[in-house]
Amino acid sequence: MKAYLFGWNPIKFKWEDIDDDIATLTKTGKLEDNWSVVSHKTIQPGDRAYIMRLGVEPKGIFSSGYIASEPYLASRKGRIYHRITIAMDVLLNPDKQPILTLDILKTGNLAAQTWTPQASGISIRPELVDELEGVWLDFLNHDQ
């Protein structure tokens, strides 16, 4: 399976209703949102998605899911770019809950990946996908 890393910077984009979104996901098991993606030529529905909080501490992965759409073109402030829809399976509030921090992601084999990308929707190195998923699941099972 391929996996992609998406960035969220609360300085640039406020997520005012994150607690409501967490409640929706918890209650219904479903939550979809769209994100910009630079790897639009390779990303496909069913690929794994991880969302990284950037810009402010704590920095780290706070959400995961699966790509739920083909890439599509969107316009924002006169700029055209590619977006995809992510069906989230985990969403944590980084201001209220522990997240998988950048310190952990920068250890061992995972240190080979760029965890603070300038663009959202970058490919995670194929040789790291299984290890990242294992670290993420271990984190969710032990740190919550």
**List of domains in the chain:** 3-142 (3.10.590)
> Cβ–Cβ contacts within 10 Å for residue 11, how many?
8
Interval 15-26 mean pLDDT: 97
Residue carrying structure tokens 């979809």: 32
Residue 98 has a pLDDT of 96
Asked if pLDDT for residue 143 goes beyond 70, the answer is: no
C-beta of residue 124 within 8 angstroms of C-beta of residue 132: yes
Which ranges of 1-144 does DSSP label H, i.e. alpha helix?
Answer: 18-28, 102-105, 129-142
pLDDT band at 19 (very low <50, low <70, confident <90, very high): very high
Sign of CA dihedral 2, 5, 91, 74: negative
Residue 3 C-beta-side C-alpha neighbours within 13 Å: 21
Residue 8 has a pLDDT of 96
Residue 50 main-chain phi, psi, to 5 deg: -125, 140
